């Protein structure tokens, strides 16, 4: 079911249409996912454990083949590119940059070397690297203070900041994040979201954030898409979704309202 707030198709920076994904030829992880992200938006992809959020994000960066996953139907288009036919590094240089599961800092490298790796992936010049490092350090003063330390010794929150900083070094047009709140203290999560939303507001950075913490996601996003069992079942403006009884009952911990699946389409 879909609220009537989706973009006209031509306005989309990213478009996912009726996407189906199978792992190992057997596990059907997505069975019909639809998603649109317009330039300048913050869009949340929410859903319970195993709903398919990470799988969808992998598909956006054409990372499924490396996980024995395969798009079996549907299509992903980013900035006019057919993603399934575009190498991940080409997508990165086109501005589609992900902070995917596990944060993946290079533990033996310093914080600064980790950040520089993000700029090199994009082919930045030495001068660009310097400018971008200063920008990242201004956003995350804690990284500036630890620039020479091994990234492996950072706290979980600092590693998340380093992973986001490294992605920003790639000068993204669309930044994709997988559960940036995972395992972090509420205060750190708030700091990270404040910075991300600030980048959207002040610099127009487009964001797609997968979150299990639906309350958090709906507070910060402009729009959201709800995934259930590999299918997008609901989408619309975050402010409207927050007020829906079915969303409250299923995802925001409200008691009496019926579950999403029992409701008729909006
Ligand atoms: N590499 C893989 N090989 C086989 N099955 C997988 C693989 N990765 C995910 N799956 C399966 O695909 C389904 C969707 O998983 P996915 O990780 O995309 O969900 P998710 O919404 O991100 O969940 P979580 O929030 O727990 O990470 C699950 O049934 C999962 O077991």
Query: Can you give the pLDDT of all 266 residues of the chain as single tens digits?
Result: 333 344 444 479 999 999 999 999 999 999 999 999 999 999 999 998 899 999 999 999 999 999 999 999 999 999 999 999 999 999 999 999 999 876 678 888 999 999 999 998 777 788 999 999 999 999 999 999 999 999 999 999 999 999 999 999 999 999 999 999 988 989 999 999 999 999 999 999 999 999 989 999 999 999 999 999 999 999 999 999 999 988 888 888 754 344 443 333 33
**What integer pLDDT is reported at residue 76 of this predicted model?**
97
Q: In a mutational test of the pocket of ligand 1, which residue from 50, 56, 59, 227 has the highest number of ligand atoms less than 8 Å from its CB?
A: 50
User: Which residue's CA is minimally distant from atom 8 of ligand 1?
Assistant: 55
Ligand 1 nearest atom to the CA of residue 21, by list position: 12
**What integer pLDDT is reported at residue 260 of this predicted model?**
42
Dmax of the chain from CA atoms? 58
Give the C-alpha separation, 181 to 221, whole Å.
14
* Fold observed for domain 11-95+173-262: Rossmann fold (3.40.50)
CB of 53 sitting under 6 A from ligand 1: yes
User: Which residue's CA is minimally distant from atom 4 of ligand 1?
Assistant: 23
53 CA to middle of ligand 1, Å? 8
Q: How far apart are the first and last CA of the chain?
A: 6
Which ipTM was obtained for this model?
0.96
120 CA to middle of ligand 1, Å? 30
26 CA to middle of ligand 1, Å? 13
**What integer pLDDT is reported at residue 82 of this predicted model?**
96
Give the C-alpha separation, 208 to 235, whole Å.
14
51 CA to middle of ligand 1, Å? 7
Q: For the chain, where do the domains classified as CATH 3.40.50.300 start and end?
A: 11-95+173-262
63 CA to middle of ligand 1, Å? 14
Rounded to two decimals, what is the model's pTM? 0.89
User: Which residue's CA is minimally distant from atom 7 of ligand 1?
Assistant: 23
224 CA to middle of ligand 1, Å? 20
CB of 23 sitting under 6 A from ligand 1: yes
SS (HEC) of the chain: CCCCCCCCHHHEEEEEEEEEEEECCCEEEEEEEEEEEECCCEEEEECCCCCCHHHHHHHHCCCHHHHCEEEEEEEEEECCEEHHHCCHHHHHHCCEEEECCCCCCCCCCEHHHHHHHHHHCCCCCHHHHHHHHHHHHHHCHHHHHCCCCEHHHCCHHHHHHHHHHHHHCCCCCEEEEECCCCCCCHHHHHHHHHHHHHHHHHHCCEEEEEECCHHHHHHHCCEEEEEECCEEEEEEEHHHHHHCHHHHHHHCCCCCCCCHHHCCCC
**What integer pLDDT is reported at residue 106 of this predicted model?**
85
Q: In a mutational test of the pocket of ligand 1, which residue from 26, 44, 55 has the highest number of ligand atoms less than 8 Å from its CB?
A: 55
User: Which residue's CA is minimally distant from atom 5 of ligand 1?
Assistant: 23
Give the C-alpha separation, 49 to 228, whole Å.
9
138 CA to middle of ligand 1, Å? 35
User: Which residue's CA is minimally distant from atom 10 of ligand 1?
Assistant: 29
């Amino acid at each position: 079911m879909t609220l009537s707030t989706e973009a006209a198709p031509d306005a989309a920076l990213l478009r996912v249409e009726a996407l189906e994904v199978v792992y190992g030829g057997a596990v059907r992880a997505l069975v019909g996912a639809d998603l649109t992200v317009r330039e300048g938006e913050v869009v949340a992809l929410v859903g319970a454990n195993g709903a398919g959020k990470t799988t969808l994000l992998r598909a956006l960066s054409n990372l499924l083949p490396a996980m024995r996953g395969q798009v079996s139907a549907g299509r992903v288009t980013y900035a006019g590119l057919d993603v399934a036919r575009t190498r991940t590094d080409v997508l990165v240089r086109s501005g589609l940059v992900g902070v995917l599961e596990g944060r993946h800092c290079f533990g033996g490298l310093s914080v600064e070397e980790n950040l520089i790796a993000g700029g090199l992936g994009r082919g930045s010049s030495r001068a660009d690297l310097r400018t971008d490092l200063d920008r990242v350090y201004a956003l995350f003063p804690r990284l500036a203070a630890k620039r020479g330390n091994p990234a492996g010794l950072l706290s979980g929150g600092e590693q998340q900041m380093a992973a986001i900083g490294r992605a920003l070094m790639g000068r993204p047009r669309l930044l994709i994040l997988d559960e940036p709140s995972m395992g972090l203290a509420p205060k750190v999560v708030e700091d990270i979201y404040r910075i991300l939303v600030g980048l959207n507001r002040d610099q127009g950075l487009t964001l797609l954030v997968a979150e299990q913490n639906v309350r958090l996601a709906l507070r910060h996003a402009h729009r959201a898409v709800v995934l259930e069992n590999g299918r997008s079942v609901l989408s619309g403006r975050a402010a409207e979704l927050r007020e829906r009884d079915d969303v409250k009952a299923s995802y925001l911990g409200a008691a009496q309202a019926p579950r999403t699946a029992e409701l008729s389409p909006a």
